[in-house]
Amino acid sequence: MPDFLQSATEIAREAGALIAGLSDQPLEINYKRRSDLVTEADRRSEALIIERLRARFPEHAIVAEEGGNHRSSSGYCWYVDPLDGTTNYAHGFPMYCVTMGLAYRGEVIAGVVYDPTRDEMYTAERGAGAFKNNQRLHVSHTEKLSESLVATGFPPFATNHDLNIQFYFRFTMLSHGIRRAGSAALDLCCVATGCFDGFWELKLNPWDKAAGTLLVTEAGGCVSDVHGNPFNLLGDDVFASNGLVHGEMLEVFAEVLAQQAPAKS
Ligand code: IPD
Ligand code: CA
Ligand code: CA
């Protein structure tokens, strides 16, 4: 493979340094929708990433969260989240990252997640493993949900009808606990490293999950949707696990979903 991953790590490191450098400055916060924040750091990081990608890979398409998109028919597409964890960032909670995933004809082939607060670079290439700062990653060996630490997230526009509240309640009762850390890309990295045994979210965009899902599968884990269907990068929901607790967690999703379904007459 050409130097896709090398380029992505260099660009993510540069963008990460930019957002970390801006983190202690008073930044204007704007709202895309209620509770959906965007800061100057999101915009500047995205502008930098797009400029660098355009210079290195002018023939590649780009889909980026803050709208800096480019079309192309090359089959290659970068999914870019210039700052994943914006709400954390805006509140000074150090759990945010830069993430970029490269898909070829719809399949993610390379991805990076860079956490500038810890200087941790997560990388994966299809078929070549997953790494944190060049150390090989492997998912956990936990076999039972009752011994698992799991994680989820909610969209910024969650309502009290959100189905995920029901999942959250059920998994809180059945596991060691749930973490809602506020960066889907880092949550997926935590499945790849083995801190989390499972992670799911119901409404994620492709830029949130492109790199992280590749990290999980390359670390030996399993990725699907919450119904157990094959993972779809362009679909809404994602469920990633160490593989060993996948079936048991799918049963819990199914139970909760069955309770939500209107009773048949
Ligand atoms: C958000 C984070 C959060 C997840 C939300 C995402 P953003 O991304 O990944 O953990 O729960 O669904 O929108 O807006 O900070 O890039
Ligand atoms: Ca995001
Ligand atoms: Ca973002």
Domain ranges of the chain: 4-136, 145-260
**What number of other Cβ atoms are within 10 A of residue 74's Cβ?**
13
Q: Does domain 4-136 have CATH number 3.30.450.20?
A: no
Atom of ligand 1 nearest to the CA of 86: 15
pLDDT value for 162? 82
Within 6 Å (CB) of ligand 1, which residues are found? Answer: 81, 84-87, 153-156, 182-184, 201, 204, 208
pLDDT of 149 higher than 90: yes
Arithmetic mean of pLDDT, 212-239 = 97
- Per residue in 32-66, pLDDT (tens digit) is 656 566 688 999 999 999 999 999 999 999 999 98
96 CA to middle of ligand 1, Å? 10
Q: What does the alpha-carbon distance between residue 92 and residue 129 come to, in Å, rounded to a whole number? A: 33
Arithmetic mean of pLDDT, 172-176 = 98
- Residue 34 near residue 61, CB atoms below 8 Å: no
Its sign, for the CA torsion 239, 137, 183, 46, is negative
Predicted structure pTM score: 0.95
- Residue 192 near residue 241, CB atoms below 8 Å: no
Q: What does the alpha-carbon distance between residue 103 and residue 119 come to, in Å, rounded to a whole number? A: 25
261/129: higher pLDDT? 129
- Which token pair is 247? 């079936």
Q: What does the alpha-carbon distance between residue 240 and residue 201 come to, in Å, rounded to a whole number? A: 9
pLDDT value for 160? 66
- Residue 226 near residue 171, CB atoms below 8 Å: no
Name the class of domain 145-260. Answer: alpha beta
Q: What does the alpha-carbon distance between residue 8 and residue 252 come to, in Å, rounded to a whole number? A: 37
- What residue owns the CA closest to ligand 1's atom 15? 85
pLDDT of 138 higher than 90: yes
Residue 24's pLDDT band (cuts 50, 70, 90)? confident
pLDDT value for 39? 83
Q: What does the alpha-carbon distance between residue 59 and residue 71 come to, in Å, rounded to a whole number? A: 9
- What residue owns the CA closest to ligand 1's atom 2? 183
